[in-house]
Amino acid sequence: MAADLVSAEWLIERHRAPHTRVVDARWYIDGRRGRDEYLKGHVPGAVFVDLDAELAGPKGSGPGRHPLPLPELFASARARAGIGDGTHVIAYDDDGGAKAARLWWLLEHHGHIGRVSLLDGGWQAYLAAGGPTEADPVELSVATAVVRPGRGRKVVTADEVAALEPGDAVLLDARAWARFTGELEPVDPRAGHVPGARSSPYVNNLVNSGGRFLPDDELRARFAAVGAVPGARVIVYCGSGVTACHTLFALSRVGIEGELYAGSWSDWSADARRPVATGELGPRAPQRNRSQNERARFVSPPASAASLQRHRSAGGTSPSTASTWRPQPVKEGLLQVGHWIRWHMRVSSA
């Protein structure tokens, strides 16, 4: 089923419609609790789902920091949320759909019969459109939910990724650029990326960070630039299998049904037997969603294909973001590093 978006205006008019379930999937890496934010205000009638407890299995129950939940665990969470067959589910968060897309993917993977949508622009767009809110928790009658694991979205393992030969698949890394190159790793055991992967940060699926999705023609061009085109096998990973679902959603928008490496970098980097690559692979992805000041301070400017070719013709190698780092006074340098780590933990740790 194609990935579906609804607007804030659409939701304001229809959030109480029969057989419709609005789901609040807010989650944070910075210590805040999604349920606390939900209790401060949410879409009327929306039920809260907890990413750690309901959209992921217990730690150690599978590969990575957010293992896929066992079918019976997800069936229970889905029933508690009032999601039965035929329910139209609209999921939102306040991070451009980065966490809500995990629910979309799980429902599709488990063969949900019904429409599953993300709220384009999320909680911020809903408030900006003047949507009504409420703060009381929503208790629902338990729905009858049948899970059909494996009927929908595909999952691949670390061994399957390791066995890929050149040309077998396009492997996309949905984390931030600095984590891909290995300049920064705030969460996982080792820095870098899976050899052969291409950088495709999930935030670049959006017009701006935490905002609406790019138009489909821009998404199509963005993915084509890294070899992800209809007919190609495309596998996506991130830090722990959460934000990769955002890129899988965006791919589905343009007719590309990708596969999820569920354990993602947290799984791969934890195994010392697995090789790790650092630095760039091909022209770097443009940094669409950072301010100009952030780009200037922490990453190199985007390199065009023409500039890369001129550089290589002159006998150089692909420029590295590390080569643009300038020595800073100790105090200012520490402040910059702290800011960098906080920013990346906010947008790309999942």
Supply the residues annotated as catalytic: 238
C-beta separation of 303 from 103 below 8 A? no
Compute the distance between CA of residue 89 and CA of residue 87 in angstroms, rounded to an integer. 6
Tokens standing for residue 141: 């009658």
Tokens standing for residue 86: 């035929």
How do strand 170-173 and strand 155-156 relate by DSSP bridges? unpaired
C-beta separation of 260 from 63 below 8 A? no
SS (H, E, C) 124-174: HHHHHCCCCCECCCCCCCCCCCCCCCCCCCCEECHHHHHCCCCCCCEEEEC
Compute the distance between CA of residue 178 and CA of residue 152 in angstroms, rounded to an integer. 32
Please choose, from the candidates 14, 197, 37, the residue with its C-alpha nearest in 3D space to the C-alpha of residue 89: 14
Compute the distance between CA of residue 2 and CA of residue 80 in angstroms, rounded to an integer. 25
C-beta separation of 336 from 328 below 8 A? yes
C-beta separation of 347 from 174 below 8 A? no
